[in-house]
Chains A and B, each alone.
Chain A
Amino acid sequence: MERDTALVEQCLNGNGGAWEELVRNHARLVYGACYRFTGRGEDSQDLTQEVFLRVFRRLHTFNPESGAFRTWLLRLTRNLLIDNYRKTRKDQALDPLEDQIFALEEKSGLGADAERLVNRREASELLSRSLQKLSPELREAVILRDLEQLEYREIAQTLEIPEGTVKSRINRGRRELARQLRALGVQG
């Protein structure tokens, strides 16, 4: 965390290398959150770029005393995701990931490694599909806790809600996700 703050300071002093390091260190976090939230690779790339553009423009507003850089970054990401969700809600209703092609029939002729890869890809697809069925509030809470491994306190800061509400949303999100996974035929 200290390193991030130092990098931000260097960026503000005009150090391009520090900015590059910040991007490299956090691109995975932002892209992962975007991908799991939207379930679409192409949208996630655009959103990740947009997040870093916003961060770049607003870097001077980051205050280390009010939280870690990661929390600030995730808050910006989350706000953009919610904005994007509101804008594209109608499109999503018409195109709710059901058009994604599953290569189940191709599995039979594959070797063990390839089959495992396909299984992992399927698991990832199933997760994306199930997450899309959750409300944005529950989805973001589950993603931040169980995929991005944030502490409750960090999630509370990111979402700007009390910790109790965070836990309640995580609970409801997990249970709803379990039901959606079972509805898609995943056995636990």
Chain B
Amino acid sequence: MKCREFNLLLCDYVDGALDHDRRRGAEDHLLSCASCSQALAEAEFAVAFLHEAPSVEPPPQLIADIIHDTIGIGGALAPVGGGAVESDGFFSFLRPLFQPVLQPRFVMSMAMSVLSLSMMTFYGKRAVQNWQGQASPTAIVESVQLGVRGAWDRVEEIYDSAAMFYELQTGYPAASEPGEVSGEDSPAEPPNQEEGR
């Protein structure tokens, strides 16, 4: 074997990818060639150092930043097929303007804020009136129970509206409440679930 041939095999030799015969031929050549032996020593030294180098871990925040920069806070994937955003109709230029407030999480927060404020004003006012009108403890408890029941009904109504809005925004069915009986109203299987297995 000549130096030129050995040079072609050096990479495979260091990586242990040579068959027995060629490895033996290379070893025979190394016995009689100082420059190729030095080349081998250098390559092996570099590989050993590289293999001992600690692996580089990305900062945890980086992954969150990438997700945020690409699919936003809500986790809904924007069309990636190209051109879908541009072909969104006459008012498509308004889309970037309203993009931040159209995030499902933002809409949910707004809905919950409106709900809290309306409950505070409506039921708070009623409770004060009841308190002033009926001073007996039983009447107050009944009034509070009535108020709580009414508030719960309103919460359910607003939750249903918000869930419907979320589904329209994301194309995903909203999560069902814990303990909800599956039936007509139970959420459908998420799309592509089969593909993910």
Contact = CB atoms under 8 A, between A and B. Distances in A.
Interface string B149-172: 000000000000000000000010
B66 A48 contact: yes
A11 B12 contact: no
Interface residues of A, number: 54
A15 B71 CA distance: 10
B77 A27 contact: no
Contacts of A181: 45-46, 49
Nearest to B70: A56
Contacts of A36: 56
Nearest to B40: A175
A36 B41 CA distance: 23
A14 B49 contact: no
Interface residues of B, number: 46
Nearest to B63: A27
Nearest to B71: A16
Chief secondary structure at chain A's binding surface: helix
A19 B71 contact: yes
Contact of A124 (B51, B53, B71): B53
A56 B62 contact: no
Interface stretch (A75-83, A90-98, A100-108, A166-174): A166-174
A177 B47 CA distance: 9
B77 A179 contact: no
B39 interface: yes
Contacts of A56: 70-71, 80
A31 B80 contact: no
Interface string B61-75: 011011101110011
A146 interface: yes
Given A14-B171, A19-B70, A31-B58, A178 B43 contact: yes
A34 to B, nearest CB: 9
Interface stretch (B106-114, B118-126, B137-145, B188-196): B188-196
Interface stretch (B3-11, B26-34, B93-101, B128-136): B3-11
B16 interface: no
Interface of B: 7-8, 10-12, 14, 39, 41-43, 45-59, 62-63, 65-67, 69-71, 74-77, 79-82, 171, 191-192, 195-196
Interface of A: 6-7, 9-20, 23-24, 27-28, 31-32, 35-36, 45, 48-49, 52-53, 56-57, 59-60, 120-121, 123-124, 127, 142, 146-147, 152, 164, 167-168, 170-171, 173-175, 177-179, 181, 186, 188
17 contacts: A10-B195, A13-B195, A14-B77, A15-B77, A16-B71, A23-B67, A27-B58, A27-B66, A48-B58, A123-B49, A146-B51, A147-B50, A167-B12, A171-B7, A174-B42, A174-B47, A181-B45
